[in-house]
């Protein structure tokens, strides 16, 4: 069974739902925003294509004002992925239906693979919406089942300043893997740090 586009009305309701579901997706969006409309349409298409069981809820930040601050989400649309009640990943912006499909299916496949020996690494990707290499690196992570947190530095000035302070560079993508910064899509180095063969 696929639960889709059920609206959540409050943080309290979300917390109750999280306690009942091992895996849950939440789309935070702003009604009337072109980016949010894009995310809604493409995510709907992606979910309609999948055969996996997906629990997906939505919350309009115009009406529900206490969820996004609780999870430090500063821009929408943002797709939040929860496992066992804990936030595991945030996918910001509007993506193609194919990209959402890959995200939903790859992460779900990893949850059911049962590989207990995998050491999870903290991966943060600094991006902008117009950066083609940013999409390439995110696709690379999805294809290899790497969970990552995305930060759009075009809409988060503080994060942009922190990124430049850490790397000395302004260009994106930049990836933080357990504290080590990689500027650009250095596939060899990224694969080595993440154990991708």
The listed CATH number (3.40.50.150, 3.40.30.10, 1.20.1050.10, 3.90.480.10) that belongs to domain 1-114: 3.40.30.10
Q: Where are the domains of the chain?
A: 1-114, 119-197
pTM value is 0.61
pLDDT in tens, 52-81: 677 889 999 999 999 999 998 888 999 998
Other Cβ atoms within 10 Å of 120 Cβ, number: 9
Confirm whether 1-114 and 119-197 share one CATH topology: yes
C-alpha pair distances (Å), 16 with each of 8, 25, 85: 11, 14, 9
Kindly report the CATH number that applies to the domain delimited by 119-197: 3.40.30.10
Contact assessment for residue 17 and residue 8, using Cβ atoms and an 8 Å cutoff: yes
Beta strand residue intervals within 10-108, DSSP E: 23-29, 55-60, 78-83, 86-92
Helix (H) or strand (E) holding 150: strand 149-152
pLDDT in tens, 75-119: 899 999 898 888 888 888 888 888 788 777 665 444 444 444 444
């Amino acid at each position: 069974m696929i639960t889709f586009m059920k609206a959540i009305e409050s943080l309290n309701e979300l917390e109750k739902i999280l306690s009942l579901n091992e895996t849950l997706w939440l789309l935070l969006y702003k009604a009337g925003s072109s980016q949010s409309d894009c995310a809604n349409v493409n995510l709907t298409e992606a979910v309609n294509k999948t055969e996996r069981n997906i629990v997906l809820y939505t919350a309009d930040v115009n009406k529900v004002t206490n969820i996004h601050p609780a999870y430090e989400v500063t821009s929408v649309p943002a797709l939040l992925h929860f496992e066992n009640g804990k936030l595991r990943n945030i996918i910001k912006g509007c993506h193609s239906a194919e990209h959402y499909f890959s995200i939903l299916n790859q992460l779900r496949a990893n949850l059911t693979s049962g590989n207990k020996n995998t050491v999870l690494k903290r991966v943060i990707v600094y991006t902008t919406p117009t950066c083609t290499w940013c999409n390439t690196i995110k696709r690379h992570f999805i294809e290899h089942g790497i969970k990552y947190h995305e930060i759009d530095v075009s809409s988060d000035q503080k994060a942009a300043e922190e990124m430049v302070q850490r790397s000395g560079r302004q260009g994106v993508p930049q990836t933080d893997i357990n504290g080590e910064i990689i500027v650009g899509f250095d596939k060899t180095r990224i694969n080595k740090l993440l154990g991708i063969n």
